[in-house]
Amino acid sequence: MIRFYAENGLFHLQTCEFSYVMQVLDNQQLVHRYFGKKVNRFSSSNKMTYLDRAFAPSPISGNRTFSLDALPLEYSSNGLGDFRSASIEVRNDFGVGLDLKYRAHRISKGKPALEGLPSSFATDDEVETLEIDLYDALTDITLTLFYSVFEEANFLARSAKITTGEHATKIEGCLSFTLDMPRKDFVVHSLMGRYGYEKEWTRTPLTSGRYEIGSVRGASGHSQTPFIALADEAITEDSGEIYTAHLVYSGNFKAFAETSPLHHTRWGIGLNDQAFSWQLEAHQSFQTPEALLSYTDQGLTAMTQTSHAFIKRHLVRSSFVDKARPILINNWEATYFDFTEEKILELAQTASQTGIELFVLDDGWFGRRDDDESSLGDWFVNRAKLPHGLEGLARSVNGLGMEFGLWFEPEMISIDSELYRAHPDWAIQITGRDPIYSREQLVLDLSQDQVCDYIIDSVTRILESANITYVKWDMNRNITSMPETVANGERYEFHHRYMLGLYRILETLTMRFPHILFESCSGGGGRNDLGMIYYMPQAWASDNTDAIGRLSIQEGTSLIYPVNSLGAHVSAVPNHQVGRVTPLETRGNVAMMGGAFGYELDLTSLEQEEIDEITEQVATYKSIRATVQNGQCYRLARTSNTQSTIYVNEDQSQAVFTFVKILAQPEAPLIQVRLKGLDPEAQYHCPRLKETFYGDELMNIGLTMPHVQKDYFSVQYIFNKL
């Protein structure tokens, strides 16, 4: 709900849980007044207080108490007296900075899409939008702030659009939002990591100074995620305030929280201003990506469940959003590049006997691709490996009762490729400088329309050539050597233009092939963000397939992303990334708690006993798939040595509980775990324990874990309501 009170220039935005309040001051400055637990009416109990602050410049002659550096500005600019991090920085013939004053506003049902960018959506009954125009008279620049209120979903979507008038300007930084909070006693929650160790849930007390994360890689990156949250110091899973911000974007970003000398906190998220600028000529506009804000005082579990629900209902466009994700087998760790059609069909035959539903052919099927040094960009079938082509292979796989999927890496190009020999200018590189390689490949220049058209056309030809129902879209290196054609002078537009090109490609292909389940990948979780989830409802969370390594990766990812958006596979032992030997039961249990379940190992090399166990795992997962993929997620008691999670379906008729212990310890104490989310009055039967329990007993007293003296021990209990 959006209310405007003309008598005092007050905007009050409300969701089911929070209020967001702004006010236009007498001098037309737009300030932030409140963001937090919902109030029915805002009456300025937190009065605006003006004090004469030393060295705080004032734009009003004779009034030393009015300073931009002390005001809670709704959207701030550089150079005019606010010395905190700016929301927008510009430079033009008039100097730097914008004196942004309220000019007009509009309130409407529904929500406009953002041109060329992924963004949230809803019906007109689910969302209202407020547009506020701020204007700088000297430069003739209008800044439009967008606020879309998802009342029941408990989210606020924010973005900004900068429009020039008669004069050109250069944008040197623009964030999707900044917000001033009247306190600084926060703990910052973020998702950090590295390749193979993505989405590590990081908690950092906010002290004096600045906390910042970001990426300048041309992708959101393995190391940091476009998400930031400010939480109470004593927050728990079930209680405490937390403010969250997501960025719906897949390229360079930054998120920050900084404290002021007055013990306030300014935080924000948006495009990274490092190596970024954007030239606007007269009467042109620039749109920032969208930021998604939320608040709850019900703790971390409420934050997670609210985030999952919003993303699935208001950000994932795919028809697969709530559909059961197929159990798959991927041949990568089974064969790598060394495969034949005969070997693939042998693997598919064994997979079909276990009940696996989808076979995915990974890297090596195209061009002359026998290693990672050639053929990227040459999207035609390697007939030496696949004499019957993709059409014949897909037909054979379908004949075994399975669907057929395919791996691509369309954004990349190998120097040893027909495409590079024909179009070296399509690769991102600097003329006269030796290329910078990563995985022996370069990146295609998606800022060029003809390159985007080539990718769309070549991928379309392949997808139309066979019965392909799944695509794994990979991106295995970051961008270097920004080309001089767009980096000349002081214009640094390339990275954002690349993302706009990528989004055009994904928009075209996902709309053209709505029956295909697209999974994004970037060396695992190197571009696992809400910008990609908009187009591809599933992501390969990490190339690290080790079950124990996956525990923290899956926990961090599912902190904010829906569980059914995460690909989680059982792989071989010793594990190919870390060499760990983990029981097949634990590998299966961890992958099943990860979301979209599958396998990535050579089934044909296993003993019959292992095949039988995999067959049982597949059958078990089919019986719990709906609960895991679409149920409510609860993180339970965990330590540095244990982790436990429970998923409960909507009507509380089934719950899937998984407990993992990493290392055995001498004289270890018994572990009791209290479950969550059950119907307290109902009885639940656990087939594995062959016992029946009341829901309140399991939640209030808990369940004693087996005392097993083995490393990497796990157990999965399924509870069905009687």
> Read out DSSP for 387-453?
TTHHHHHHHHHHHTT-EEEEEE-TTEE-SBSHHHHH-GGGB---TTS----BTTBEEB-TTSHHHHH
Average pLDDT over residues 304-311: 98
What CA–CA distance (Å, rounded) separates 659 from 637?
A: 10
DSSP 113: P
Q: For residues 312 and 292, what is the distance between their CA atoms, to the nearest angstrom? A: 14
The per-residue b/e assignment along 141-176, b for 16 or more CB within 10 angstroms, e otherwise, is bbbbbbbbbbbebbbbbbbbbbbbeebebebbbbbb
Residues of the chain with CATH 2.60.40.1180: 642-721
SS3 content of the chain, % helix, strand, coil (to 5): 20, 30, 45
Q: What angle do CA 309, 323, 399 make, to 5 degrees?
A: 160
In 3D, which of 200, 228, 204 has the Cα closest to residue 214? 228
* Whether residue 474 lies in the annotated active site: yes
User: Whose CA is closest to 199, among 230, 178, 223?
Assistant: 223
Sign of dihedral through CA atoms 692, 694, 699, 702?
Answer: negative
Helices 584-592 and 608-630 pack at an angle, to 10 degrees, of: 20
CA dihedral sign, ordered 99, 183, 14, 157: positive
- In the set 445, 474, 529, 546, the catalytic residue is 474
Which residue has tokens 């013990």? 263
Higher-confidence residue of 395 and 485: namely 395
CATH 2.70.98.60: which residues of the chain? 2-314
CA-based nearest residue to 481, from 428, 408, 413: 428
d(CA 251, CA 205): 27
- Confidence (pLDDT) at 589: 98
Which position has the token pair 């014949």?
A: 392
Tell me which H or E stretch contains 625: helix 608-630
Residues 6 or more apart whose CB falls under 8 angstroms from that of 188 comprise 203, 204, 205, 206, 211, 228, 229, 230, 231, 257
Q: Could you tell me if 680 and 699 are in contact, meaning their C-beta atoms sit under 8 angstroms apart?
A: yes
Residue among 1, 560, 14, 541 at smallest CA distance from 247: 560
pLDDT of residue 690 exceeding 90: yes
Asked if 104 and 133 count as a contact pair (C-beta separation under 8 A), the reply is: yes
How far apart CA 259 and CA 268 sit, in angstroms, is 12
**Which of these ranges, 84-98, 354-368, 512-526, has the smallest mean pLDDT?**
84-98
Helical residues (DSSP H) of 243-363, grouped into ranges? 299-314, 332-335, 341-354
Q: Which two tokens stand for residue 656?
A: 């899937």
Listed in order, strand segments (DSSP E) in 116-209 are 127-136, 141-150, 155-164, 169-181, 187-192, 200-205
pLDDT band for position 486 (cuts 50, 70, 90): low
Gap between the Cα atoms of 647 and 652, Å rounded:
10
What whole-number distance in Å separates Cα of residue 412 and Cα of residue 451? 11
Give the pLDDT mean for 670-685. 97
Contact 77, 88 (CB under 8 A): yes
pLDDT for res 57: 77
Say if CB 325 and CB 517 are below 8 A apart: yes
Q: Which residue has the higher pLDDT, 204 or 49?
A: 204
Transcribe 229-260 into DSSP letters.
Answer: EEE-TT--SSSB-EEEEEEE-SSSEEEEEEE-
| Residue of 136, 378, 445, 543 marked catalytic | 543
So what's the pLDDT on residue 281?
Answer: 95
Establish whether 449 is a catalytic residue: no
Average pLDDT on 430-459 reads 92
What pLDDT score was predicted for residue 52? 77
CA gap 319, 516 in Å, rounded: 9
Provide mean pLDDT across the span 427-442. Answer: 88
* Mean pLDDT value across residues 345-360: 98
* CA atoms of 51 and 182, how far apart (whole Å): 15
Q: What is the distance between the alpha carbons of residues 658 and 559, in angstroms, rounded to a whole number?
A: 17
List the beta bridge partners of residue 170.
91, 279
pTM for this predicted structure: 0.96
Q: Give the model's pLDDT for residue 438.
A: 85
Instruction: Identify the pLDDT of residue 49.
Output: 77
| CA pair distance 164, 116, nearest whole angstrom | 19
The structure tokens listed for 633 are: 């997620």
Closest CA to 542 of 196, 192, 190, 194: 196
Question: pLDDT band at 71, cuts 50/70/90?
Answer: confident
Domain at 642-721, CATH homologous superfamily: Golgi alpha-mannosidase II (2.60.40.1180)
Please, are residues 217 and 271 in contact by the beta-carbon 8 Å criterion? no
Which CATH architecture fits 2-314?
A: Distorted Sandwich (2.70)
Q: What is the pLDDT, as a whole number, of residue 487?
A: 46
**Could you tell me the pLDDT band of residue 215, with boundaries at 50, 70 and 90?**
very high
Range picked from 73-87, 284-298, 480-494 for highest mean pLDDT: 284-298
Q: What are the start and end residues of each CATH 3.20.20.70 domain in the chain?
A: 328-534
328-534 is a CATH 3.20.20.70 domain? yes
Q: Please compute Rg for the chain using Cα positions.
A: 27
Cα separation, 485 vs 548, in Å, equals: 46
Which runs of consecutive H residues, i.e. helices, occur in 318-412? Answer: 332-335, 341-354, 389-399
Contact of 314 with 153, CB cutoff 8 Å: yes
% of the chain with per-residue pLDDT over 90: 89
Query: Hey, which bits of 444-595 come out as E strands?
Result: 470-473, 517-520, 538-540, 566-571
pLDDT at 47: 82
What's residue 64's pLDDT?
A: 78
Q: What Å distances lie between residue 464 and 360, 468, 512, CA to CA?
A: 17, 8, 10
Residue 355 CA, distance from chain mean position: 31
